[in-house]
Amino acid sequence: MNTDRNRIFVYDTTLRDGAQGEGISFSAGGKEQLARRLDTFGVDYIEGGYAGSNSSDMAFFEPLRKKKLRHAKLVAFGSTRRARTPVQKDPQVASLLAAGTPVVTVYGKSWKLHVRDVLRTSLKENMAMIRETVAYLKDRGREVIFDAEHFFDGYRDDPDFAVRALAAAAEAGADTLVLCDTNGGSLPHEVFGAVRTAVDLFDRPIGIHTHNDMELGVANTLEAVRAGAVHVQGTMNGYGERCGNANLTSILPALVLKMERTCLRPGELKKLRDVSLFVDDLVNIRHWPKAPYVGRSAFAHKGGAHVNAVKKNPHTFEHTDPATVGNERHVLMSELSGGSSVLLKAVELGLARRETEEGARDILAALKAMESKGYAFEAADASFRILAQKVLKKHRSFFDLEGYRVIVEKRGKEEPCIAEATVKVSVNGEVEQTVAEGEGPVDALNGALRKALTRFYPSIAKVHLTDFRVRILDPEESTAAITRVLIESSDGEATWGTVGVSDNIIEASWEALVDSVEYKLFREEERKKPGRRAPSKRRGGQRRAKA
């Protein structure tokens, strides 16, 4: 099975253990999006959630059973059967099967304290729970991963008992035995020693699952791999309860770049920063600038001497080439991202050729000016394109704004809140004024704008918003802070993102709405031109050519 002796199997639990983190929650659509992104990335196992514990996790498995993942195996997570309950009558074990995944992960106790104080059952019954649950699931054709919860605490307390819990799972046929530092309280050399023992004792893959409560989550995982573990569990960006799970975003590059292990699909490590940002965006949390490898500051140089030395030879102050993880060097007099990416982006969008670096430089200057105001174009390709067209003087505007007004009103505590928007635009000198109500001010504004433009541009009727995200920048300034609105639109064929920034959320939303409509109209016009193809938006062949 594992022909490559250096192969490490990556097990992502962002959707399950990661979701235990403070402030982390995924929408149903977001879960599926993440699973597909991780699949492309080359993760081997994707733990989708608890089987049974709540219906939203169960619902997640459904679409992925229909439209399968390409590489990764989907995993349902649950515990061993309850004490004194026949395994075939345990509802939780039944839902592990009902999830219909090829792999199930079952956690069981390997620390006497937990058997006594939490399960409140006998040590013997604990072993039976492990053995019977694993055997039952194996009999039904599942790949079974056994998570020995609190393994290292248990091993410290009574090594023999902890090892016997592993043996119970192994004898019952568990495919992988995973040692968990559930409380995150173990030191690297302790992890190394215990993993080495398990590797020596058992004839099957040993896995590792650590937490970051002592800021040792990554170290403990890497030490486990050095001791012979070949299966690594963790979460993207280290999401997870308390101080988080072992951070795959730091572990994966260390395995590949520093320890010569094999994992992920070829070439995908270069997308590490993209994936990391994607996950943060999905749950709408702020990217951690100091994050190793992927953070904005990870390759930032402040001291003049360092910058100088790095210019002479990057190895002097960089342990890794930032490009290997999709990041870039960052010199701190400018707060902003570098220029080569802009050129690449402009090429990708069909706005520039490699030769015309000239235009790219102008775009970069405009981009930096926008970024300093709070704009972010990572998820707003369409706004970037419109900006670039304006710089290159290739932009024409399809309508002029004469004005808008939004009213939100509530007449009494129990009364509904009403939102109404009026919009006045002119197209080739012809003025159109419309009014619409909506669920909220932005919805009303969106309705009025589309109403006004559909008369002139009927295709606008097909455009609808598929995502709408708001981030407040400079939170210290609270409600008066700058608001960034990201909108994703679709016409049923293509999907595009736009951005707006203002200290007024309505104005920021308006900007993003206008960009969205203009992009649609522009694309349409371009498509009509004979002999020209609209540039492909995402995952184009062009991107591959550049990489």
Footprint of a copy of itself on 169-198 (CB under 8 A): 182-185, 187-189
Footprint of a copy of itself on 265-284 (CB under 8 A): 284
C-beta of 42 vs 497, nearer to a copy of itself: 497
CB 1 to a copy of itself: min, Å: 28
C-beta of 226 vs 543, nearer to a copy of itself: 226
C-beta of 176 vs 389, nearer to a copy of itself: 389
Binder among 92, 126, 133, 250 for a copy of itself (CB under 8 A): 250
289 in contact with a copy of itself (CB under 8 A):
yes
Binder among 3, 4, 5, 23 for a copy of itself (CB under 8 A): 23
Which residues are bridge partners to 489 per DSSP? Answer: 465, 496
Specify the 3-state DSSP secondary structure of 490: strand
Count Cβ neighbours within 10 Å for each residue of 436-472 and write b for 16 or more, e otherwise: bebeebbbbbbbbbbbbbbebbeebeebebebbbebe
Task: For the chain, give the number of residues.
Answer: 547
CB 451 to a copy of itself: min, Å: 14
**How, if at all, do strands 483-490 and 464-472 pair?**
antiparallel
For 342-359, the DSSP string reads: HHHHHHHTTS--TT-HHH
C-beta of 108 vs 217, nearer to a copy of itself: 217
CB 312 to a copy of itself: min, Å: 5
The residue with tokens 């992960």 is: 105
Return d(Cα 411, Cα 416) in angstroms, integer. Answer: 8
Q: Which amino acid is at 351?
A: L
Question: For residue 131, what are the CA distances in angstroms to 125, 177, 199, 429, 495?
Answer: 10, 13, 20, 79, 50
65 in contact with a copy of itself (CB under 8 A):
no
Site string for a copy of itself, 352-391 (x = CB under 8 A): ------------------------x-xx------------
Other Cβ atoms closer than 10 A to 290: 9
Footprint of a copy of itself on 213-242 (CB under 8 A): 213-220, 222-223, 226, 238, 241-242
CB 397 to a copy of itself: min, Å: 9
Range in contact with a copy of itself (rule: CB under 8 A) among 25-33, 84-92, 269-277, 348-356: 25-33
Return d(Cα 445, Cα 437) in angstroms, integer. Answer: 8
C-beta of 175 vs 181, nearer to a copy of itself: 181
Of 238, 293, 341, 173, residue with least CA distance to 14: 238
| Strand (E) or helix (H) holding 107 | strand 103-109
CB 413 to a copy of itself: min, Å: 5
- Dihedrals φ, ψ of 493, to 5°? -105, -60
Binder among 234, 441, 497, 500 for a copy of itself (CB under 8 A): 441
How is residue 235 annotated by DSSP?
A: B
Specify the 3-state DSSP secondary structure of 252: helix
Binder among 27, 88, 340, 341 for a copy of itself (CB under 8 A): 27
Footprint of a copy of itself on 91-150 (CB under 8 A): 113-114, 117-118
Footprint of a copy of itself on 311-330 (CB under 8 A): 312-313, 315-320
Binder among 438, 460, 496, 500 for a copy of itself (CB under 8 A): 438
Return d(Cα 131, Cα 174) in angstroms, integer. Answer: 9
465 in contact with a copy of itself (CB under 8 A):
yes
C-beta of 86 vs 303, nearer to a copy of itself: 303
How is residue 17 annotated by DSSP?
A: T
Binder among 98, 259, 331, 494 for a copy of itself (CB under 8 A): 259
278 Cβ contact partners less than 8 Å away, ≥ 6 residues apart: 34, 37
- Dihedrals φ, ψ of 110, to 5°? -130, 15
The residue with tokens 């004792």 is: 201
461 in contact with a copy of itself (CB under 8 A):
no
Footprint of a copy of itself on 476-505 (CB under 8 A): 476, 478-481, 483, 487, 502-505
Binder among 266, 403, 429, 458 for a copy of itself (CB under 8 A): 403
Q: Which amino acid is at 339?
A: G
C-beta of 57 vs 175, nearer to a copy of itself: 57
CB 480 to a copy of itself: min, Å: 4
CB 284 to a copy of itself: min, Å: 5
CB 503 to a copy of itself: min, Å: 4
Return d(Cα 143, Cα 146) in angstroms, integer. Answer: 10
CB 441 to a copy of itself: min, Å: 6
411 in contact with a copy of itself (CB under 8 A):
yes
**How, if at all, do strands 73-79 and 45-50 pair?**
parallel
C-beta of 202 vs 317, nearer to a copy of itself: 317
Long-range contacts from 477-481, C-beta under 8 angstroms, 24+ separation: none
67 in contact with a copy of itself (CB under 8 A):
no
